[in-house]
Amino acid sequence: LLDSKWALVGLCAVVGLLGTTANATVVAKNVVVKVMERTGDKLFEKALEYPATLDTVPKIKATTPLIITFDSQTVNDTSLVLDQALVSFQHVDTKSEVALPARAVKSTESYKMDVSRKNFRLHFSSAPGVYNVALVLGSFKQGGLFYDLGNVEMVAPKGTKEKKHEVAYGPKPEIHHRFAEPQKMPNILVSLFFTGLVVVPFIGLLGGWAYLGVNADKLQMEPVGSVVFMGLIAAYITLAISYWIGVKLFPTLTYALVLALPTYLTGQYALSKRIEKRI
């Protein structure tokens, strides 16, 4: 955006210079430069007609805004709507430039530029001094105009330090990364104790079967199907333990779906064979 703005300023300046050397049809009329108090009192006012310039250097502060108004006309004294209207401020010493737009005032068919407190702090507080002020006007149909209005002095508030626009080239300071400290874990004996508590229900299950007198001899009626079926059940138990240890959820579900069909088929086969032999 900044580059495009300066490109427009340069374009209007070129068009304006060409226009002034070739009897430009853009004319600035009723140019008034004013310095106002916030209360509305006038500290300075000067009316100019092209190519007249300011004969004094008014002082501008953040509390005393600069206001520039003007009319845009053709050589035939007809009102002209500009495609670009800027007020250029060029520092006399550093040659740095600031361009502020002039807005159209429909009620008076004129243009107005106001250096508000925000613009003053943004552009001039850190770079006080004498600035050359000029109107940069442009029309695609009528040409352009570059009107040098004279000089003004931007006075910075007390205690403001001037910015030094310096570009430093060289290596950047080394970046030191600080990684998060590892979380404190309990003693290994505590972990082993609670791991053992998880196994207790399984041991209780086996003990309950033994106490009830569960008979596993019937598995010999279909040893192959029964062994495969019990192996798949053991695979499910191993999968559950793996998920508890560290396997992610979606891989666990994938493995469970893979085991589901063979578990169902082998279980169905083993039970059907047992029923046939019993009959």
Closest CA to 56 of 90, 72, 33: 33
Q: What DSSP character marks residue 192?
A: H
- With 0.75 as the threshold, say if the pTM is over it: no
3 contact partners, CB below 8 Å, separation of at least 6: none
Distances (CA, A) of 190 to 72, 138, 168, 198, 223: 88, 83, 58, 13, 42
Are 236 and 192 spatial neighbours (Cβ–Cβ below 8 Å)? no
pLDDT tens, N- to C-terminus, the chain (279 residues) = 444 444 544 555 454 444 444 445 788 998 999 998 877 788 899 999 988 999 989 988 888 888 999 998 888 888 888 989 999 999 999 888 999 999 998 888 899 998 888 888 888 888 888 999 999 998 888 888 999 999 999 888 765 555 555 666 778 888 888 888 878 878 888 888 887 888 888 888 888 877 887 666 665 666 777 788 888 988 988 898 888 888 888 999 999 999 999 999 988 887 787 777 665
Which position has the token pair 């068009």? 15
Closest CA to 155 of 61, 279, 261: 61
